Structure 1
Amino acid sequence: MQYSFVVFSLVLFISININAQKSYKRTYYDSGKIKSEGWTHNNKKIKYWTFYYENGRVEKEGHFQQDKPIKYWYFYTVNGNKKSEGHFVDGKKNNWWLFYDDMEKINHKCQLKDNQKNGYCLMYKNEKLVAARKYKAGKRIKEWTDFKSFRKENNLSDLQ
């Protein structure tokens, strides 16, 4: 009886360890083209992942921890141009994010908290700062169209 319990425990331990191993996964579109690739542990995304459009270009890439995006991510258009980039914290967009126009020039950059604009957004046109906006929990609360008035009303260290 004791021998069978030890054998059963050993088999259970080995099968759990085998299933808990890290593995590199790839998923594919019905066409056979790669859709995503990256590491998993216990069937949850971990480490670096890359996702692709069906045309083969990269859609987005970044790190996961326990199936949630973390750290710095990059997003691209279907044509391969930069679309946006920024920080994830525990699966949500946080800190500064950059957003690009069709020419891959910064259109605006915003402070985000839990997927919402929260802080400043700096608006650009032809690589020149044209406006600044302040948001709280996704709602715009103020806008400036000249740097002098913006600087007068704000602490520039908040932009870091």
Structure 2
Amino acid sequence: MLRIFIVLFVVGLLPAKRMYDRTYHDNGNLAAEGWKQNGLKEDFWKMYHPNENLESQGHYRMDLRNGYWYFYTKEGKLEMEGHVSQGKKVKWWLFYDENEKINHKCQLQDGVKNGYCLKYVDEELKSAEKFKNGKKVKEWFSFGAFRRENKLSDLK
């Protein structure tokens, strides 16, 4: 038992191996680049589509996406952005149309709609929906009706 403790203690004292890593698509174009520590993705990473356009960018912690992330279409246009915690989408996420204008934003929990989704047309609010565990429970087409039934503080 003492030997196992000593080995674990000594291994814990060894410096972490940190290196900048790049991977490539079959066509030879860059697929991903970022930092690895002890073989796990850490800190800032960028992923690329096979056509070399940016696919996503954000931070990793122990090989899981964490923090704020951006995702792009194959054409290089912003598609969505939002918070990630331990690899799952959380909090508010913004989703964009083909002109990179917000077409909806949703509250997510563990990657599932849970809370409100606000829908826009030409950047003007058109409707609101409420979700619970991924299932729509209510929809409003009037901001007045929405305000009468909800607290605006829930939109934080």
The answer to whether the superposition gives a TM-score over 0.5 is yes
Moved over 3 A (4+): none
1:4-83 alignment runs, 5 A limit: 17=14, 20-83=16-79
- The whole-number CA distance in structure 1 between the counterparts of 2:64 and 2:56 is 14
1:102-132: CA deviation from partner (whole Å, max 9, x where unpaired): 0100010000000000000000011110000
> Alignment identity in percent?
50
Specify the alignment match of 1:6 in structure 2. none
Specify which of 108, 115, 129 is matched with residue 112 of structure 1: 108
Indicate the SS of the match to 1:87.
Answer: strand
Specify which of 87, 91, 109 is matched with residue 87 of structure 2: 91
Aligned residues: CA RMSD: 1.6
Indicate the SS of the match to 2:98.
Answer: coil
**Alpha-carbon distance, 1:17 to partner:** 4.3
Q: Which residues of structure 1 form unaligned runs of 5+?
A: 1-8
Q: How many residues align?
A: 147
TM-score by length of 1: 0.88
Specify the alignment match of 2:149 in structure 1. 153
1:3-59: CA deviation from partner (whole Å, max 9, x where unpaired): xxxxxx9xx96xx947x4110000011221100000001111000000001111100
Indicate the SS of the match to 1:31.
Answer: coil
TM-score by length of 2: 0.90
Indicate the SS of the match to 1:150.
Answer: helix
